Amino acid sequence: MARRLHRRAIAQGEISLPAVPGMLDEYVAMCAGLFGSLGRGFTDEDLDVLRDILRDQLDEAFTASPRSEIVITYDAPVGLIVNYHVKCRWWSVEGAYENWIATREPPLFGSEPDARVWALAGEAADPRTSPILDLGAGTGRNALALARRGHPVDVVEMTPSFAESILAGAQREALAVRVLQRDIFATLDDLRTDYQLILLSEVVSDFRSADQLRGVFELASRCLAPGGRLVFNGFVAHRDYTPDEAALQLGQQCYTTIFTQPQMAAALAGFPLILTSDDSVYDYEKAHLPAGAWPPTSWYSDWVSGQDVFDVPREERPIEMRWLVYTKRLGAGGPGPS
């Protein structure tokens, strides 16, 4: 009687999930459990077909973009049949942030400049002679605050709405901010070579490969003045943890690209940059942000702790976001050994 009851059920629905090819078995198990609960159990042959379809769509989506998902729609009429369809869809990184602007309440990343960036810039004796480059400046919360202090600031930002907002804010306050709307790796020809500070805040966490990390070190080697500093925050795996493909892929889907310490060292090799500071983002920002500014957003503390990928207590997570500061060696010229 229970089997007959389930077979009289009529069901339809849609499931959207981030595309993580390394977790294929989870998608298969979820679909099999869902369809089984509707009285439409799958045979081993049915599951093999489902697995092949899911694999193809997951691979296509994740290859296209880390802001991708698969959409599973299903329709179960009276009887033993369930009809399902799997498709993938994705956005560019800048398209995903444009969607943030359209659907989320500001401030998107907090209202205060990063405490680590603010402290480094504050070491300049005269801000007017200490130019700064902000790569992937987002809403401009660092760039505009630094310009108010007196620094000449160049901004590179690929998301059009962010770039337009920063430019409008700078013009409104008559700040010394130059805005370049493009990808940070598109060219070096429009950048200075005497920056005292180059910063990337919440940018490396969107990278897809260590080659992009090496590109940052090359850019900094070319564009920093000797003694100038590069600072960025990125997710680094603990020494005793090696992430597998599933962790790396889910990390990219959660704005949490993970690098191992050997990858960081290999990306730096050959450049005239020395690691001079390595701090937990969680600990540093919590201790140094102005009163009432911690956490900058509702999601920030879990995110920088790596808990958007690993659903475990903070003290058990195998990764965390770190503030890494590199100093260009005195006497060093462009990139490469010196």
Give the pLDDT confidence of 24-63 residue by residue, as tens digits. Answer: 999 999 999 999 988 888 999 999 999 999 999 999 999 9
Regions in the chain scoring below 70 on pLDDT: 333-338
Q: What percent of the chain stands above pLDDT 90?
A: 86
Per-residue pLDDT, 335: 60
Per-residue pLDDT, 336: 58
Residue 127 DSSP code: G
Q: Are strands 258-259 and 153-156 parallel, antiparallel or unpaired?
A: unpaired
Q: Please state the pTM of the whole predicted model.
A: 0.92
Per-residue pLDDT, 333: 66
Task: Classify residue 280 as exposed, middle or buried by CB count within 10 Å of its CB (0-12, 13-18, 19+).
Answer: middle
Cβ neighbours around 171 below 10 Å, total:
11
**Among 154, 149, 179, 183, which residue's Cα sits nearest to residue 167?**
179
CA 124 to chain centre: 29
Task: Classify residue 7 as exposed, middle or buried by CB count within 10 Å of its CB (0-12, 13-18, 19+).
Answer: middle
Cβ neighbours around 131 below 10 Å, total:
22
